[in-house]
Structure 1
Amino acid sequence: MSDFDIIVYGATGFTGRLVAEYLARSGATNWAMGGRSLSKLQEVRASVGAPAGTPLITANADDPASLRAMVERAKVVISTVGPYQLYGSDLVAACAASGTAYVDLCGEPAWMREMIDAHEGAATASGARIVFSCGFDSIPFDLGVWKLQQVARERHGKPAARVKGRVMAMQGGFSGGTAASLKATMAAAARNPSLVKLLTDPFALTPGFDGPAQPMGMLPHVDESVGKWVAPFIMAPINTKNVHRTNFLLGHAYGEDFRYDEMMVTGLGEVGRAAAEALQKFNPLASDKGPRPGEGPSKEERESGFYEVQFIGEVEGGDEVRVTVKGDRDPGYGSTSKMIAESARCLIEDVEGNGGIWTPGGIMAEPLVGRLEAKAGLSFAVHP
């Protein structure tokens, strides 16, 4: 019998603190905060307004025994401790062995594939439901495509074989943790060039299945489906892999010929073109500007952020389906902290599911969409 419904591991980090604050303010009970430092956990508990009796658990990423002791006390562990390829492997192993559910914010496909290969069997046997990428990468995209495909089947009796994800607007960037993960991934690829093939493979997370050639989404152009210039989107390499894994986990409900890409909409005319070309050349790793892990924007900046993503599905025969997903906070922090918290709650309150390594869309799409709309400031709007 678990002591707690939820343990937030990494609660002393910037995003972990936001998750703890969200749980405290939403009236969650029977949860705990975990991290390396008891004194820092005590400070966070006081600063986020959690009840004084909220339990605190010390555990360290480099101490597997402490991780095992922690996960055995929880129904689900929320991990915000990244880069996951540096600090996450023993925690996943502990959850897979113990049967404890797990959610994280991972956008590191090489590590995710390593975890799938190493622990899917153990998680399936123990009943542990391991769910990666429960933040901005990749819930709005994963569930946006899922929602579109539900509509396509309802209206036309078949899925859309071709779907475009187009980021129409976004205020607020990706997190310092995401930037650190990108840098760690690039460093790993430099040490091990064989990772480059995996990082560029759209089907890197679908072991045993290679689908059709995919649109690359790398060249600026005028996209007639939105009537504006589009440019490469920095999160596309992880989001697209997760969307294909969801299709794989759902028994290819989108079809084995499914094609998908994501791009950022930059605008009309020469202004849109110039912005698209600038984005194509932009290297987020070339500068130390922006938040570092553990840092982030102010409350006002988080609350003034937003995003809007439109999904355009082309159904065989010429029919089209469109769904727009919107979030009411900045994507990297404000919205992400709500999404991962509700993902954890959804796993233990709304779905049973089998053990294994999942995507949000693969194990809890329908109930999670409902939760996110009711509680987390997201909307999934179907166009007429």
Structure 2
Amino acid sequence: MKAKEFDLIVFGATGFTGRLVAEYLHLSGADGARWAIAGRSLDKLAKVRDELHLPPSVALLKADANDAAALKALVARTRVVITTVGPYQLHGEPLATACAEGGTDYVDLCGEPLWMARMIDKLTPLAQRSGARIVFSCGFDSIPFDLGVVYLQAEAQARFGAPLPEVRGRVARLKGTFSGGTLASMMETIEAVRREPGLIKLMTNPFALAGGFKGPRQPNDQGADFDDWADAWAGPFVMATINTKNIHRSNA
């Protein structure tokens, strides 16, 4: 297989979250890898590189989220793309498709289950042929909860010889607030359901992304209640709608 020019490209590096990803890569020692930042404006990318003190070896690549030809050329140059350009239901499909067709691994921060369900149906056969790994929701949207369940169940198997019949997640404290992109994604999902009311069935189905898998009845998470485990009142977590779907998809 021909070697790729880059190990990793951060697409959307001039945005709020993309900039944080680029900064983290730099501070965590990723400068030993071959990586680049990409977006619509080379001038803005250069400003990000200067302000974050990224080394000159971090290349600047120009591509628009809706330019299929430019995205095809972009993903051909790298092993992995991290994209923070959302809402994904408006701007994500061309890049995800280019990766699935081209055999480039794809990672995003998506919390939009309607779009994810559509992309799973569309991209699975493409990615199976090319060998690409298409991985959604690799941010706070789901990582602590998804990997938390994996860890707990592995420990349960090792200690008790059987998985736990029930796992609950609780968020006791949050730092910061929503980014503009997260709010835009939430509003676009609400608008999609308004246009097609039938989509509410997918939104409320915890197994909607699990490829036909049907699990046991899930706890009621639609209202506040006193949680005996936490010895406190608890209410629905704003990201639970997508987190539960991703956990059941991982399990399936």
- Shorter-normalised TM-score: what interval? over 0.9
Q: Distance in 1 between matches of 2:6 and 2:161?
A: 43
Q: How far apart are residue 227 of structure 1 and its match? A: 1.2
The residue number in structure 1 matching 2:113 is 109
Q: Does 1:35 align with 2:39?
A: yes
Q: Does 1:194 align with 2:198?
A: yes
| SS across alignment from 2:174 | strand
The residue number in structure 1 matching 2:220 is 216
Q: How far apart are residue 193 of structure 1 and its match? A: 1.4
| SS across alignment from 1:140 | helix
Q: Distance in 2 between matches of 1:44 and 1:169?
A: 30
* Identity across the alignment (%): 57
Q: Distance in 1 between matches of 2:29 and 2:145?
A: 28
- Cα deviation code 1:251-273 (max 9, x no counterpart): xxxxxxxxxxxxxxxxxxxxxxx
- Cα deviation code 1:298-343 (max 9, x no counterpart): xxxxxxxxxxxxxxxxxxxxxxxxxxxxxxxxxxxxxxxxxxxxxx
Query: Which one of 231, 238, 247 corresponds to residue 235 of structure 2?
Result: 231
The residue number in structure 1 matching 2:90 is 86
Q: Distance in 2 between matches of 1:163 and 1:200?
A: 19
Amino acid of the residue matched to residue 203 of structure 1?
F
The residue number in structure 1 matching 2:12 is 10
Contact 2:16 2:179 in 1 (8 A): no
Amino acid of the residue matched to residue 165 of structure 1?
G
Contact 2:110 2:136 in 1 (8 A): yes
Q: 1 or 2 for the larger relative contact order (CA 8 Å, sep ≥6)?
A: 1
| SS across alignment from 1:233 | coil
- Cα deviation code 1:201-260 (max 9, x no counterpart): 111101222222211212211111111111111110000101100110xxxxxxxxxxxx
Aligned length: 248
Q: Distance in 2 between matches of 1:8 and 1:142?
A: 23
The residue number in structure 2 matching 1:63 is 67
Kindly report which structure 2 residues correspond to 1:128-143, keeping only aligned pairs within 5 A, or say none: 128-143=132-147
Alignment RMSD: 1.1
Amino acid of the residue matched to residue 8 of structure 1?
V
Q: Distance in 1 between matches of 2:220 and 2:43?
A: 48
The residue number in structure 1 matching 2:179 is 175
Q: Distance in 2 between matches of 1:3 and 1:102?
A: 16
Q: Distance in 1 between matches of 2:157 and 2:28?
A: 35
Runs of 4+ more than 3 Å apart: none
Unaligned ranges ≥5, structure 1: 249-384
Unaligned ranges ≥5, structure 2: none
| SS across alignment from 1:169 | coil
The residue number in structure 2 matching 1:152 is 156
The residue number in structure 1 matching 2:207 is 203
- Taking structure 1 as the reference length, the TM-score comes to 0.63
Q: Distance in 2 between matches of 1:144 and 1:67?
A: 34
Contact 2:109 2:137 in 1 (8 A): yes
- Taking structure 2 as the reference length, the TM-score comes to 0.96
More strand by share: 1
Q: Distance in 2 between matches of 1:27 and 1:213?
A: 44
Kindly report which structure 2 residues correspond to 1:330-345, keeping only aligned pairs within 5 A, or say none: none
Q: Distance in 2 between matches of 1:217 and 1:9?
A: 35
Q: How far apart are residue 53 of structure 1 and its match? A: 3.7
